[in-house]
Chains A and B, each alone.
Chain A
Amino acid sequence: MSEENYCYLVALNIHGYNSLALGYLQASIKADQQLKSNIEIEAIDLCVDCYDVHQIIQFFRRKPFLIGLSCYVWNFNKMQHLARLINSLWPEAKIVLGGPEVTPHPELVFQKLPFLAAVVSGEGEETFVELIKTFLKKEPLRKVRGIAFKNGESVVVNEPRSLIEPLDKIPSPFEAGVLELKDGSTYLETYRGCTFKCAYCFEGKNYSRVRHFSLERIKRDVKLILDKGIKNFSFVDPVFNLNREHLKKMVRVLKEAGINKASLHTIEVVAENIDGDIVSLLKDASVESVETGPQAVHPHTLKNINRCFNKERFRKGVLTLKKAGIKVLCDLIIGLPGDNFYRFLASTAFVLSLAPHRIIFSTLHVLPGTPLFENKEDYKLIFDPEAPHYIWQNASFSYREIRLAEILAKSLGKEYNLD
């Protein structure tokens, strides 16, 4: 193996998470016959708030041939800083960016970071493997689908890559043994895409349809997680109870894998679809806590963000979950178009009346590539063009009201959320 071909993959995660994306990339590279004997790969998987860029650089102990940075809304500022620093220290190294933050508008990324070797758009597993091979063979990048690169002064955006199908084609990071599994911060994905199309979310927009990993694959992965002694883990799936029949099958598979030895936390559910049968299934799957909306309750706001919400069914769903001893975490977003300070208070009052385990307040991120971003003029959305793209004001929610709502939420959140 050439000393020259050392690759680093960097993820900067929200505290308490590990990067599943890096796991997929590592597993895909390891599974490739040609690459596995030609390059060495090392993952630098850190908490975004725990390290500054000069500390992150300390993890680079060898001269890099290629560095892949996994970019999300919460880490993009630091990733840009890191990319500039890496480029100064190792100008020969190829720096590649991927992830949802750079997927929608690669041209804009090159404006800020013109030295990048490539930007990967969309699912990265197949694209990244092909891109490394192309670099190694010193072939032109034109044929690599799903990337953008610079040719002289212009940015070339190649044809997009089709969605990976079936998803099982992606090697399992659990089988590859590339993830450091920890209690509470181990996550598994059972499908990609979302049938809902919430206007602020990238998931439903990015993937045109829902694709599932096979039940056999999920069972194998869960078994591997449990065999490592993990007692508490979760799924990154946007909605766990998307489809009743599928949920039944999932729960059967989880039980066969031995889920009763562990518990599942903060599983995302649609509360309106919860009834006694679904709760029994969740109990069978050892679900200890779930996370759900409503994000907002005013009909006008909900229409703008394209969310279905049925107040009475939502209430019933939450109460049914609570009665069964499943903790419910409710999410509210500050700054949505159509909302204002009083409507936000009404959402808060509604959620408080359900007495959930926790209330999670967050401020709207206007994410590039989402319908809200694309229709920003319609709602007069004014937001930070830089990540994390926090809303500053919109047609109905003034700058001052948004700040007040945040201050109130900070106080109330600490008072309400105890553990």
Chain B
Amino acid sequence: MIRYHSLKINNSCLNSCSFCSEIKQDFFSPEKLNDFLNQPKLPESIKIFGGEPLTVDFLTDLVANLRRKGARRIMIKTTAAPLSDFNLTFNLVSKGAHHFEIEFFSFEPAIYQAMTNSDLSLELVLQGISNLRRLSLENGQNPFLSFRIIVNSANINEVTRNLVFLLKFRPDRFVLSIVPPLEKLDFTLEKVREAIKIANLNLIWLQTENVPFCLLGEDCYHYGELLTSSFLFSFKASKLKSCLECSASKVCQGVPSFYQELEDFRVSPLISSEKFEDFEFLKKEMERL
């Protein structure tokens, strides 16, 4: 729900995921970063990403500078592999990085590598995550740890097992990011619902990404995602005829095209929501964010 200002600092990544769109976007050159830092007032919350931002050698200094110049919350989006260097982890957190969003694919090395098209060692990734949690034991630091689990047909079968595997790291949030290719819509949604249940049973908030409200149904309470940037799909989405009657229509971008290509695709718009008024009320508050 917190709006982070994005700061993309490089393009090179340890993975080469086929669905990744971030890698193609422009990033801040050192000069542009300097200009950003010299603004009179920095945004309170900043998300640093790449590529893999942890491979940028001035990252620790950048975090320190951002904090010194008034930014309060610094999120770093990473694969976690570079955090296997404990000194780097310690320095980043000590200088003020508070939130780590770790992109995770699978606890099975073969699936991890297939999804990421890389030979990145899962062992390093897990060591990196452990280091973040080791900080609280050894240094009393307790950074916010969220896992963005990327889900497509390669790992949909074990999405819940992935979640259970990650519980031992005491995550503060899960983000389930659905990306193409998918095979069956119903099966995917069933797995997503299962994941929501497991996370909530363990008292962990799970936020879905790239899922229009109508697919999960109102029962999943994911209007909450309206308040996150994950609502802004990174995939091409379009409104269908049925969207016209939907109560979420004003804020929804429609259905991402990769769902529409599925054999069992159908959509039930949220027309008779008894919470319609609350939804409008919520929307008004969100507009100020």
Cβ < 8 Å to A, chain B residues 112-171: 144
Shortest distance between the CB of A406 and any CB in chain B (Å) = 8
**CB contact under 8 A between A342 and B73, given known A352-B289, A408-B205, A410-B203:** no
Kindly state whether residue A37 has any CB partner on chain B within 8 Å.
Answer: no
Interface residues on B, range: 20 to 34
A341 within 8 A of B: yes
Interface pair B279/A342, CB less than 8 Å apart: yes
B72 interface residue (CB < 8 Å to A): yes
CB of A60 to closest CB in B, whole Å = 33
Chain A residue nearest to B203 (CB atoms) is: A407
- Quick one: CB contact mask for B72-89 with A, threshold 8 Å, 1 for yes? 110000000000000000
A50 at the interface (CB under 8 A from B): no
- Is B1 interfacial (CB-CB < 8 Å)? yes
Whether a CB of chain A sits under 8 angstroms from the CB of B267 is no
Contacts of B223 in A (CB 8 A): 342, 345
From 347 to 363 in chain A, residues with beta carbon under 8 angstroms from any chain B beta carbon are: 347-350, 352-353, 355
Interface pair B288/A350, CB less than 8 Å apart = yes
Interface size on A, residues (CB 8 A): 27
Contact at A343–B144, with CB atoms within 8 Å?
no
A297 to B286, CA, bound (A): 13
A344 to B213, CA, bound (A): 18
Q: Is the CB of A340 within 8 A of B289?
A: no
CB–CB A345/B205 < 8 A? no
Residue among A350, A407, A410 facing the most chain B CB atoms (10 A cut-off): A407
- A342 and B2 within 8 A (CB): no
**Contact A411 B73, beta carbon cutoff 8 Å:** no
B2 touches A345 (CB 8 A): no
**In the complex, what residues of B have CB within 8 A of residue A340's CB?**
275, 278
Does B99 belong to the interface (CB within 8 Å)? yes
CB distance from B68 to the nearest CB of A (A): 15
Tell me, in angstroms, the Cα distance from A411 to B202 when the chains sit together: 12
B278 touches A342 (CB 8 A): yes
> Measured between alpha carbons, how far is A297 from B221 in the docked complex, in Å?
19
Q: CB distance A415 to B173 under 8 Å?
A: yes
The answer to whether B282 and A345 touch across the interface, beta carbons within 8 angstroms, is yes
Task: List chain A residues, Cβ under 8 A from B44.
Answer: 355
CB-CB nearest in chain B for A347: B285
CB contacts (< 8 Å) of A298 on chain B: these are: 278, 281
Whether B205 and A342, one on each chain, are in contact in the complex, defined by CB atoms closer than 8 angstroms, is: no
The one of B144, B173, B221 that contacts A404, using a Cβ cutoff of 8 Å = B221
Instruction: Decide if B62 is an interface residue (CB 8 Å cutoff).
Output: no
Q: Does A416 contact B (CB under 8 A)?
A: yes
Which residues of chain B are near A403, meaning CB under 8 Å?
Answer: 200
**Interface: B237 (CB within 8 A):** no
What residues of B have a CB within 8 angstroms of the CB of A407 in the complex? Answer: 200, 203-205
**Interfacial chain A residues near B279, Cβ < 8 Å:** 342
Q: By the criterion CB–CB under 8 Å, are B204 and A345 in contact?
A: no
Q: Does A418 interact with chain B (Cβ within 8 Å)?
A: yes
Check if B109 is an interface residue, CB within 8 A of chain A: no
Asked whether B23 is an interface residue with its Cβ less than 8 Å from the other chain, the reply is no
Determine if B183 is an interface residue (Cβ-Cβ < 8 Å).
no
Contact of A415 among B172, B275, B289 (CB under 8 A): B172
In the bound complex, do residue A412 and residue B2 qualify as a contact, i.e. CB atoms below 8 Å apart? Answer: yes
| A349 partner residues in chain B, CB cutoff 8 A | 1, 227, 282, 285-286, 288-289
CB distance from B105 to the nearest CB of A (A): 22
- In addition to A353-B285, A418-B98, 20 A-B residue pairs with Cβ atoms within 8 Å of each other are A297-B285, A298-B278, A342-B223, A342-B279, A342-B281, A345-B224, A345-B226, A346-B285, A347-B285, A348-B227, A349-B1, A403-B200, A407-B203, A408-B224, A410-B203, A410-B205, A412-B1, A415-B172, A416-B73, A418-B73
Q: A-B pairs with the 4 shortest C-beta distances?
A: A342-B278, A349-B285, A411-B205, A353-B288
In the complex, 5 of the A-B residue pairs with CB atoms within 8 angstroms, ordered by the A residue number, are: A342-B275, A343-B278, A349-B288, A407-B203, A416-B2
